[in-house]
Amino acid sequence: MIDFTRPADLVAPELLGCVISHRGVSVRLTEVEAYLGAEDAAAHTYRGMTPRNAAMFGPPGRLYVYLSYGIHLAGNLVCAPEGTGQGCLMRAGEAEQVTGFFRELGVHVDVIDARDEFFAALKGVTDPELKREAITQTFYREVFGRLVRESGAKHLLQGTILTDVDETVAGIKRQHNVFMQLGIDPQEAFGYKIIEPLIQLRKDGVRKVGEAVGLPSDLFARIPFPGPALAARVIGEATPERIETVREATKVVEKYLSGFGAFQYLAVLHEDRVTGMRDGKRDFGMQIEVRCWDSLDARTASPTHVPFEVLEKMAQEIIAAVPGVVSVTYNIATKPPSTIEVV
């Protein structure tokens, strides 16, 4: 049990790794910030109590939520004795909606960390199609294939949808989860069968099914995430360092764009470096592209009209928060000819 009566800078390290849950959604905290009230010029409570920050002067352990930039909510946990005005901002976390949901149903869940295998397969690979193929083979043949051999499983249940099939068959890009339509029998290739109950539906149809069967909206209404994970958002070689760069940029993008009702929003790390300036000197750094899409089913999409002041603040925070980034751009092309993801 965490003792919230202590100063925020002592509580913050103990919050890392903790899981918070509400209405079926669970998040494991990966980043927190401590604010020390009157001793900390960055704290909301630095200049004393106001109607807006009064909750932070309340009992320790209380949740204090405020609206930031008018578009997103930030959660803090009150620390130190009542009247002190200290708190810990829950800045970032890894969502555990899926695992938490199945555990609540009594279904055993194992989380497999296979990052080393995927990075080994992607080493030196820059071509988008070759990257997708490397990820496909690593998952289906090596990672899941090993689980099949160890457990005796005979089937893989996965969420392939009709748009995945359409784009693969049309040659737009090879979706990692499409096989039979390309003449590949998973039983012969990998040693198990693949069950795809959603393959005749598009994204909007999947969400209707999720709502009809009573799933939490946080599960069926959340933004899509690519099967190849963040490797699909790194142009060029996907190294651990470059994945970390796009992950940190993604945190900022999600912070600013989650309130616009967009179909999807993401950060992309470009391969080429660009000339920038820091402290009056040249800084040959990285470029992040931000994409935010309005769409119904991902077949077509248009860029979300985000206010310029939001884009400006987001770009400033990305450059300040992500080491090595000197440039941020916003995609205004439509799909087609563009695609939602870049790889």
263 in a domain, yes or no?
Answer: yes
Last residue of a domain, one of 202, 220, 238: 220
More confident position, 269 or 33: 269
Least confident range from 47-51, 94-98, 204-208, 255-259: namely: 94-98
Last residue of a domain, one of 186, 220, 254: 220
Our count of domains for the chain comes to 3
Whether the full predicted model's pTM is greater than 0.75, yes or no, is no
Same domain for 177 and 149? yes
Quick check: 216 and 23 in contact, CB under 8 A?
yes
Same domain for 235 and 198? no
Same domain for 196 and 135? yes
Same domain for 326 and 235? yes
Same domain for 216 and 122? yes
Same domain for 216 and 116? yes
Same domain for 163 and 133? yes
Same domain for 80 and 118? no
12 in a domain, yes or no?
Answer: yes
CATH number at residue 282: 3.30.300.10
Q: Which one, of 29, 31, 87, 27, lies nearest residue 63 by Cα?
A: 87
203 in a domain, yes or no?
Answer: yes
Same domain for 147 and 78? no
Same domain for 255 and 207? no
Same domain for 118 and 60? no
- Summarize pLDDT for 76-103 with one digit per residue, the tens: 899 999 999 999 988 776 656 567 777 7
- Summarize pLDDT for 218-235 with one digit per residue, the tens: 778 778 888 788 999 999
Joined together, the tokens standing for residue 8 give 């925020």
CATH number at residue 55: 3.10.300.10
Same domain for 118 and 213? yes
Q: What percent of the chain has pLDDT over 90?
A: 42
Last residue of a domain, one of 67, 98, 129: 98
Range of the domain at 69: 8-98
**Above 80 in pLDDT, residue 242?**
yes
- Summarize pLDDT for 162-192 with one digit per residue, the tens: 988 888 887 777 777 788 777 888 888 888 8
CATH number at residue 169: 3.40.50.620
